Amino acid sequence: MENLIALLVAAPLLGAAVLLCGGRRLDKAGHWLGTVLAAASFVVGVVLFADMLGKGAEDRALHQHLFSWIPVEGFQADIAFQLDQLSMTFVLLITGVGTLIHIYSIGYMEHDERRRRFFGYLNLFLAAMLILVIADNYLLLYVGWEGVGLASYLLIGFWQHKPSAATAAKKAFLVNRVGDMGLSIAIMLMFTTFGTFAFGPVLEATGETSEGTLTAIGLMLLLAACGKSAQVPLQSWLGDAMEGPTPVSALIHAATMVTAGVYLLVRSGAIFNGAPDAQLVVVIVGAVTLIFGAIVGCAKDDIKKALAGSTMSQIGYMILAAGLGPIGYIFAIMHLVTHGFFKAGLFLGAGSVMHGMNDEVDMRKYGGLRKYMPVTFVTFGLGYLAIIGFPGLSGFFSKDKIIEAAFAKGGTEGWILGSVALLGAAITAFYMTRVMLMTFFGEKRWQPTASDSGSAAGEGHEPHPHESPKSMTVPMIVLAVGSVFAGGFFAIGDRFVNWLEPVTGYDHGHSPLSAATVTGATVVALIAGVGIAWAMYGRRPVPVLAPRGSLLTRAARRDLLQDDFNHVVLVRGGEHLTRSLVYVDHSLVDGVVNGTAASVGGLSGRLRKLQNGYARSYAVSMFGGAAVVIAATLLMRAV
């Protein structure tokens, strides 16, 4: 079975190569080829999963060594894959949800003349993400990490004729490069400390390494995770990434790119277990981001950007859980998987709404769409209930476990983290209910849109909402099923805990509150959030134009001023730093260099006068020298 691991990557990688290099002759069938190869990778994953289930918990890890990448004395880098319970979880999620998004894209991108290239980029994204999660060493993981960054840049900026899309792609690429520096530094520290990049030797040797070294490595890994998973302070790219086609939003924000940071932290758990300071920073970043993203989601009228804020917040839950150590590792991954189902379904549902509304994204111009798009309404609604943690659905089982784990941290820290997680649950219920009410309930608020000829708004044609084709609704139905049942399936008999414990370890912790108490508090938070949203958006008409709102609302509409902060601190700060360095270069460095040259030139000019070629000058010099010698001799005798 080990020989099949490479096929996981080979199938989508072959699809990317053929679709991107095959030319226009593949335009009519390229989307089918890309989808079939993505599905083939999923089938291989299922076969490997079935084989893994037939083995004991301690014997499930598989390894495949393809070749030595860089074999030199003292430096060994291999192209080798590792498939254990953790990486298998990601393989099934990436290929399964990825295949559904491919199928959805067949209908969504039907009229795009560059559809073949789009599917090539999707295949490239899957291949890079699979390399990331099945690599058996950090250096190969870095290859997949950078491949995901490249593919995301291509997909976010796919409609590059739009300046906003091109700008969003560049922004995502540059912000992620900051995080990538963290990963590269961490890998260099690993090699200088352990002499290897491989997961096994590195993680096994952490017990013999100083806490300071582990803290440095852990903080650099966290910086990398902040970039890929859009966590504070590197979160600014995520909302702008909505400029890409909606299937890209579902692929990036649900099961793949944004979860890479969570995978990195959990895979490196042994490093963080030995570095409590780094672990504390991870927890703080997760807690801050889950509230930050939730607040941003409350103020967005763009349906995709509201869901982007939600993604930021939900990944914050996962990062918080990963920072709790063995208490939370498993539940971080459990919520990651359930989130992959309901968030992909929500994004595809948003795309379906846009498909029926002439690509309109402003929820203030929706209203009453449940009558016109019943399948989209039901599937989106189930995803909504799952993400807010409605009892019995997937989010209820995974997010509640994270809240329990936060309280189980113990002490003042546990109370603070648990309270923050509960507050996040209430805000989640509020902004997702707001999305649901503004989109599917109330009276219709859509207006005639501008025609393709560029006429002013109101002179175009009025949207006629309608249900999407089956190629779009079937993936939405499948994801809705996962949104309903996945969490309960994992929770029964601690099935998911037993699956991952051999890889991540598990600690129950000591919670001051019972599980029933935490569940009750979570349900109360949910009801409060839903009730406030209903009072604000269900009982009163939704204005087509957004009211001015409070200072916090206006700030949240601008992503809590994250771009303003970056501009003032980083852009303006960088400009001032550059000017200062230029001044130092001109005044100090160039001054020293030019001054030295001038001094040598001046001295040379004066010395040159001693060699002027005139005999009389030389005679005077000889006479003067002789006089000095005679005077010195007489003086010495007199003394």
First to last CA, the chain: 104
Residues 120, 228: Cα–Cα separation, whole Å: 22
Q: Which residues pair with 79 in a beta bridge?
A: 67
Higher-confidence residue: 609 or 578? 578
Mean pLDDT for the stretch of residues 50-56: 93
- Is the pLDDT at 452 greater than 50? The verdict is no
Mean pLDDT for the stretch of residues 470-485: 96
Instruction: For residue 285, give every residue at least 6 positions away whose Cβ sits within 8 Å of its Cβ, in sequence order, or none.
Output: 222, 226, 231, 232, 316, 319, 323
- Is the pLDDT at 451 greater than 60? The verdict is no
> Is the Cβ–Cβ distance between 87 and 134 less than 8 Å?
yes
Which range has highest mean pLDDT (326-335, 440-449, 549-558)? 326-335
Binning the chain into helix, strand and coil, the percentages to the nearest 5 are: 75, 5, 20
Mean pLDDT for the stretch of residues 164-169: 94
- What confidence score (pLDDT) does residue 275 get? 96
Residues 260, 197: Cα–Cα separation, whole Å: 18
Determine the length of the chain.
639
CA 624 to chain centre: 83
Q: How far is CA 606 from CA 21, 253, 599, 601, in A?
A: 70, 73, 11, 9
- What confidence score (pLDDT) does residue 454 get? 42
Q: Above pLDDT 90, what percent of the chain?
A: 75
pLDDT in tens, 238-287: 999 999 999 998 888 766 788 899 999 999 999 999 999 999 999 999 99
The DSSP annotation for 313-324 comes to HHHHHHHHHHHT
pLDDT in tens, 13-39: 999 999 999 989 999 999 999 999 999
551-572 residues labelled b (16+ CB within 10 A) or e (exposed): eeeebbbebbebeeebeeeeee
Q: Are strands 62-72 and 75-83 parallel, antiparallel or unpaired?
A: antiparallel
Residue 458: band (very low, low, confident or very high) from pLDDT cuts 50, 70, 90: very low
Nearest to 120 by CA among 150, 85, 163: 150
- What confidence score (pLDDT) does residue 480 get? 97
pLDDT in tens, 480-533: 999 999 999 999 999 999 999 999 999 988 888 999 999 999 999 999 999 999
- Is the pLDDT at 57 greater than 50? The verdict is yes
- CA angle 209–503–146, rounded 5-degree value: 75
**CB burial class (10 A; 0-12, 13-18, 19+) of residue 255?**
buried
Residues 64, 83: Cα–Cα separation, whole Å: 9
pLDDT in tens, 110-163: 989 999 999 999 999 999 999 999 999 999 999 999 999 999 999 999 999 999
Nearest to 416 by CA among 257, 287, 604: 287
- Token readout for 84 is 């254990």
Higher-confidence residue: 605 or 440? 440
- CA angle 234–251–357, rounded 5-degree value: 105
Higher-confidence residue: 188 or 453? 188
Q: Indicate the residue type of 137.
A: N
Residues 164, 183: Cα–Cα separation, whole Å: 29
The three-class DSSP label of residue 198 is strand
Q: Report the C-alpha dihedral over residues 61, 67, 72, 75, rounded to 10 degrees.
A: -20
Residues 392, 386: Cα–Cα separation, whole Å: 9
- What confidence score (pLDDT) does residue 455 get? 39
Positive or negative CA dihedral for 18, 22, 23, 27?
negative
Positive or negative CA dihedral for 98, 103, 107, 110?
positive
Q: Indicate the residue type of 592.
A: V
Residue 302: band (very low, low, confident or very high) from pLDDT cuts 50, 70, 90: very high
Q: What is the CA radius of gyration of the chain?
A: 31
Residues 606, 248: Cα–Cα separation, whole Å: 73
Q: How far is CA 632 from CA 204, 618, 619, 622, 623, in A?
A: 81, 21, 20, 15, 14
Higher-confidence residue: 2 or 303? 303
For the question of whether the overall pTM of this predicted structure is more than 0.85, the answer is: yes
pLDDT in tens, 355-395: 999 999 999 999 999 999 999 999 999 999 999 999 999 99
- What confidence score (pLDDT) does residue 319 get? 97
Q: Scan for tokens 């700030």, then name that residue.
A: 555
Residue 460: band (very low, low, confident or very high) from pLDDT cuts 50, 70, 90: low
- Is the pLDDT at 457 greater than 50? The verdict is no
- Is the pLDDT at 408 greater than 80? The verdict is yes
Residues 383, 483: Cα–Cα separation, whole Å: 6
- CA angle 188–191–196, rounded 5-degree value: 140
Nearest to 130 by CA among 234, 16, 269: 16
- Is the pLDDT at 608 greater than 50? The verdict is yes
Can you give 568-620 as a three-state secondary structure string?
HHHHHHHHHHHHHHHHHHHHHHHHHHHHHHHHHHHHHHHHHCCCCCCHHHHHH
> Is the Cβ–Cβ distance between 255 and 222 less than 8 Å?
no
- What confidence score (pLDDT) does residue 636 get? 85
- What confidence score (pLDDT) does residue 200 get? 93
Positive or negative CA dihedral for 181, 182, 187, 193?
positive
Q: Which residues pair with 62 in a beta bridge?
A: 83
Peptide bond just before 12 cis, omega within 30 deg: no
Q: Indicate the residue type of 346.
A: L
Mean pLDDT of the chain: 92
